[in-house]
Structure 1
């Protein structure tokens, strides 16, 4: 099957091949170079609780069954608009793992007027666990800054400690306090030698922190 897909040029070609075999599917292709491509094929209606390796060319839709999602793109950064599509496509998401080592090119400014700032906020109403331990620092800002995201039930965060420090400017930036206030568990990679005095001011609900 892999060899057949490699010979097909477009997602429409792939979709027609499956339809002829009696399958109802959707698909999209991430094209990185002539040698490196990634094809995503999934059945409809989608009934699984987990979806992985979702990248920038994700075509959207509504996936009510998905509770756990992995976003991974090793060449193209995830921008704010992409995360807005993700929040609409996976409204019942509980666990999100983001993997991207490329900085965002379309960073939102925090000096927007009130209307633009409110309209740009992305809501993840059921997200409880967020893994950001393999990301560029921009994505920590994307989720922890209240001007970017609203995470009312987030209670567990996985992140590199130094990246966290860089994102919130050594705990001097107040923009992310709303999204940190309810965190009960933090998995920190790269153990710090000493915590800042105001560390627990940012995480007042913290029950435990795990260090690696």
Structure 2
């Protein structure tokens, strides 16, 4: 149904699209070009975030790399494109999006994400099958500088906790500041993450 609507918008010059699709094959650059862009000859700006997930056993794409997926966007000349791949217990999840990322919410990312500044994101949910170490939360604070709501989902304990001191009594771990955070949700987590955010000695500050 949505494809038919796009194909009728032949005079459209700008398009902003955010879509989450379950139980289907990966929506990549080739799919977008063949199913949408060939019908929109006047389109000159396309801001998008497309998330596709599928059961790993049902997906023919679960061995693709981020570079493989980005190569399919060579015909899309409007903006730079980034890709994030998550493999959870039984699900492969693919995020493809244009830069700069223009949306206020991002669900779900894990330990692997590009070195990009997401200036518009206010709501973020993070999830992974491997632990979130202290360095991960440093990267989150740097990449999402205006973050207001953070949801954490991870049952794996951290392999190293940020409470050690070196021989000069200096903290080994950098202090992490979330200056705009007003909501913190521990959805399904190991207690390490609760302690890291709520214990002042763990070097994460909500200021």
Same structural fold, with TM-score higher than 0.5 when normalized by the shorter chain: yes
Equivalent position of 1:58 in the other structure: 113
Correspondence 1:141 to 2:195: yes
109 and 44 in structure 1: CA distance in 2 versus 1, 3 angstrom threshold: same
Give the drift of 1:133. Answer: 3.8
What CA distance in whole angstroms lies between the structure 2 residues aligned with 1:96 and 1:135?
13
What CA distance in whole angstroms lies between the structure 1 residues aligned with 2:64 and 2:107?
23
Equivalent position of 1:83 in the other structure: 137
What CA distance in whole angstroms lies between the structure 1 residues aligned with 2:142 and 2:121?
12
Q: Normalising by the residue count of structure 1, what TM-score does the alignment of the two structures yield? A: 0.62
Between the two structures, name the one with larger relative contact order (CA 8 Å, sep ≥ 6).
Answer: 2
Equivalent position of 1:106 in the other structure: 160
Equivalent position of 1:42 in the other structure: 97
Task: Please list every run of 5 or more consecutive structure 1 residues that lacks an aligned counterpart in the other structure.
Answer: 153-212
Contact 1:11–1:29, Cα closer than 8 Å, also in 2: yes
What stretches of structure 1 move > 6 A for 4+ residues in a row?
none
132 and 106 in structure 1: CA distance in 2 versus 1, 3 angstrom threshold: same
Equivalent position of 1:25 in the other structure: 81
Counting only pairs closer than 5 Å after superposition, residues 1-212 of structure 1 correspond to structure 2 as 2-3=25-26, 6-7=60-61, 9-22=64-77, 24-31=80-87, 36-73=91-128, 75-111=129-165, 114-116=169-171, 120-147=174-201, 148-152=203-207
What CA distance in whole angstroms lies between the structure 1 residues aligned with 2:100 and 2:73?
14
What CA distance in whole angstroms lies between the structure 2 residues aligned with 1:17 and 1:82?
29
42 and 114 in structure 1: CA distance in 2 versus 1, 3 angstrom threshold: farther
Task: Please list every run of 5 or more consecutive structure 2 residues that lacks an aligned counterpart in the other structure.
Answer: 1-23, 29-59
86 and 3 in structure 1: CA distance in 2 versus 1, 3 angstrom threshold: closer
Equivalent position of 1:201 in the other structure: none
114 and 52 in structure 1: CA distance in 2 versus 1, 3 angstrom threshold: farther
38 and 133 in structure 1: CA distance in 2 versus 1, 3 angstrom threshold: closer
Q: Normalising by the residue count of structure 2, what TM-score does the alignment of the two structures yield? A: 0.64
What do the CA deviations read for 1:3-33 (whole angstroms, capped 9, x no partner)? Answer: 5664472111111112324453101223458
What CA distance in whole angstroms lies between the structure 2 residues aligned with 1:28 and 1:10?
9
More strand by share: 2
Count how many residue pairs are aligned between Structure 1 and Structure 2.
149
